[in-house]
A and B are shown apart, each in its own frame.
Chain A
Amino acid sequence: MRWPRSLQSRLGVGVALTVGLTWLVATLCAAVVIRHELDEAYDSALQETAQRLLPLAVLDITDRDAAAGARQVSRFARHEEFMSYVVRSPEGEVLLRSHDADPSVFPRTPQLGFHSTGTHRIYGEGAVSGRVVIEIAEQMAHRREAVLEAAVALLVPLGLLLPLTLAGAWWLVRASLRPLRAFRAEMEARGAGNLAPLPLDGLPRETLAIGTAANRLIERLRQALEAERSFTANSAHELRTPVAAALAQTQRLIAELRDEVALRRARQVENSLLELARLCEKLLQLSRAEGGGVLAETPQRFGPVLAHVAHDVRRMHPYAGGLRLSVPEAETHGSRMDPDAFGILARNLIENALRHGDGRRPVDVVLTPSGVLRVINSGPVVDENTLATVLRRFQRGGSAADGAGLGLAIAERIASGAGARLTVRSPAAGRDDGFEAVLDLAPTGPRSLAG
């Protein structure tokens, strides 16, 4: 039998088994003691009976005609008889016997004192200088029955006690483990991004230390993630500001220069700085995507973030075909992706679609209430081999368009880090051309946003 894994079952079964075994051992000990005491009492009664019967038997024998032979005491009212006796001469001649006495039970010649055969306990007592000996035999079965009945009387309550003990132990353990179960449920219910301390109210002293240690660990994790986020944000600031200053100074230089050669060089510097700025942005996004900051502590709604990103992209990347956006009023997916990480992801998908779209037809951006984001652009069908590599870093899908080849890789890293799934297909669903990126924010099914 396998030992149950549940602590509640282990304690319940363990307590019940311990109580049952203890009771059983106690019953066995009691049976041994009872047997001993009963033997003493029965032996004493056997001896008393022999000593009381012997004078009577002697009188009966001496008053009787010697020639009359052995006499069998007549039977009185029928009753349960456990004892029989014989009165014999030292040579074994039966002088008197009880009405149910079986001579074969007794030894061939009389023996004094107690002795036992397989079936009887026998006591012998002599009189008239040993010429008359009475032997009383008692059935051993009678004694065994008495001990058995006493043992059964002790064992019967155990039959009732065992299930009661099991139920009581079960209930007690269950009640005692209630705070532990609540603790477990809290841990199970929270998502990977929820780093709030676990409630320790009511936890038993034995497990309080585990809860405290878990909370200490969560706090350290939260601080580490916070430090990482802060580092990423500060790095972004430290990197962007000098690039911004260099770009702005260069653009002022271009505005003030009159010499054509110098102007051309200044424009080359400006283009290099713009390229550097784009690459910096992508590398900062990639570092964010590969860090631990892609999960929020609570479920998020992404419609407003998507609308904001779309507004921003429309302004920064004018696109002749236009950008069609559809966001739901309510969301039911329960994804805990960090909103900023989602913003980076969505921006990369949209920028990718604008960059590679054919420019005459709109890019469609659709977010469903169940958390599926589709970004679809028109354009030539991308072959399967290329499709298989576009989610890797520095892969530009064979396109001649600008870009570092990092956008889709960043989106894929964020998606997998937050438990979402990003897939790409070409042609787009329901079309015979184009490219479609599908982000499923809750691939394992929706959860409540209140969780």
Chain B
Amino acid sequence: MRVLLIEDDVRLGEAVRDQVAADGHATDWVQTLDEARSGVRAAAYDLLLLDLMLPDGSGLAFLSELRRGGDATPVIVLTARDQVSERIAGLQAGADDYLVKPFSLQELSARIGSVSRRYGGNPNPIVRVGAIEADLAARAVYRGGKRVDLTGREWSLLEALVRRPTAILSKAQLEERLYAFGDEVESNTIEAHVSRLRKKLGHAAVQTVRGVGYRLGSG
């Protein structure tokens, strides 16, 4: 997934960005609403992590602005205010979930998984395709009942394919999900990840649709 983190506190932002990236998501981190506006115009994000108190305005107003403009990107609010009324206001403004600071990074990862599953149209975290079984909540994959260890990027690539098992995803779409702005992406990076996935899950796990992209195979 490609995630936009909007958080003005440097130490917190850094740790959250590293956690989300370690989970295999491409993460862009901005510290102001202005940068966030530019970000959502420039790229298609799968998830926004939004702080509510930002130096140039209210995150809630930004969220309302997005929803009024028809942007349905999932949003998880990160707030240091614990009032129930503010949480309800956030959910009513279009937030999908919220976390009150301080929060555990494991809890954040779980919430990101839960929201993205909900948006993927399949709230069930267990997806089976052929011999492959992916547990999206536990971020674990099994082949023939045996657990297979994947790197963050490999997991992210598999997750992108698993979430839309019948769709063909282009190389550019996969790059966007795996890499943030400013990341070094070499021309054959996706091919290299696909190749490693095939080695671990079987050649048929990922099918190449020549000239178009990749889709999930049967393993």
Contact = CB atoms under 8 A, between A and B. Distances in A.
A308 B88 contact: yes
A236 B80 contact: yes
B88 A236 contact: no
A339 B83 CA distance: 9
B101 A244 contact: yes
Given A251-B106, A308-B87, 18 more contacts: A237-B80, A241-B101, A243-B101, A244-B9, A244-B12, A244-B80, A247-B104, A248-B11, A249-B11, A249-B14, A251-B19, A251-B104, A252-B15, A255-B22, A312-B87, A339-B84, A339-B85, A340-B86
A207 to B, nearest CB: 37
Interface string B101-118: 111111000000000000
A75 B193 CA distance: 156
Interface string A147-186: 0000000000000000000000000000000000000000
B82 interface: yes
22 contacts: A236-B81, A237-B80, A240-B80, A240-B101, A241-B9, A242-B9, A242-B11, A244-B9, A244-B12, A244-B101, A244-B102, A244-B103, A246-B11, A247-B103, A247-B104, A251-B15, A251-B106, A252-B19, A255-B105, A308-B88, A339-B84, A340-B83
Contacts of A339: 84-85
B82 A281 contact: yes
Given A251-B15, A251-B19, A308 B84 contact: yes
Contacts of B19: 248, 251-252, 255
Closest CB pairs A-B (n = 10)? A343-B84, A248-B15, A244-B102, A244-B101, A245-B11, A245-B12, A237-B80, A240-B80, A340-B83, A240-B101
B191 interface: no
B16 interface: yes
B18 interface: yes
A321 to B, nearest CB: 22
B8 to A, nearest CB: 9
Contacts of A281: 82
Interface of A: 233, 236-237, 240-249, 251-252, 255, 273-274, 277, 281, 284, 304-305, 308-309, 312, 339-340, 342-343
A340 B85 contact: yes
B203 to A, nearest CB: 32
Contacts of B81: 233, 236-237
Contacts of A245: 9, 11-12, 15
**Residue of A243, A308, A340 with most chain B CB atoms under a 10 A cut-off:** A340
Contacts of B84: 305, 308-309, 339-340, 342-343
Contacts of A304: 88
Nearest to B111: A315
Interface in B68-112: 80-88, 100-106
Interface in B97-147: 100-106
Nearest to B14: A249
A281 to B, nearest CB: 7
B81 to A, nearest CB: 6
A343 B102 contact: no
B74 to A, nearest CB: 17
B80 A241 contact: yes
A164 B185 CA distance: 102
A interface majority secondary structure: helix
B66 interface: no
B150 interface: no
Contact of A233 (B15, B83, B106): B83
Contacts of A273: 102
A343 B100 CA distance: 14
B190 interface: no
B53 interface: yes
A303 B85 CA distance: 13
A304 B80 CA distance: 22
Contact of A236 (B22, B82, B87): B82
A27 to B, nearest CB: 73
A287 to B, nearest CB: 12
A40 B53 CA distance: 101
B53 A237 contact: yes
A308 B91 CA distance: 11
A343 B86 CA distance: 11
**Residue of B9, B83, B88, B102 with most chain A CB atoms under a 10 A cut-off:** B102
Contacts of B82: 236, 281, 284
Contacts of A248: 11-12, 15-16, 19, 102, 105
Nearest to B84: A343
Contacts of B16: 248
A244 B106 CA distance: 13
Interface in B1-59: 9, 11-12, 14-16, 18-19, 22, 53
Contacts of B86: 340
A205 to B, nearest CB: 42
Given A308-B88, A340-B83, A241 B104 contact: no
A248 B105 CA distance: 6
Contacts of B11: 242, 245-246, 248-249
Contacts of B105: 248, 251-252, 255
A243 B53 contact: no
A252 B18 contact: yes
Nearest to B8: A241
A325 to B, nearest CB: 15
B106 to A, nearest CB: 7
Contacts of A342: 84
B194 to A, nearest CB: 27
A241 B18 CA distance: 17
A215 B106 CA distance: 51
Nearest to B106: A251
Nearest to B103: A244
B83 A241 contact: no
A274 B84 CA distance: 21
B54 to A, nearest CB: 12
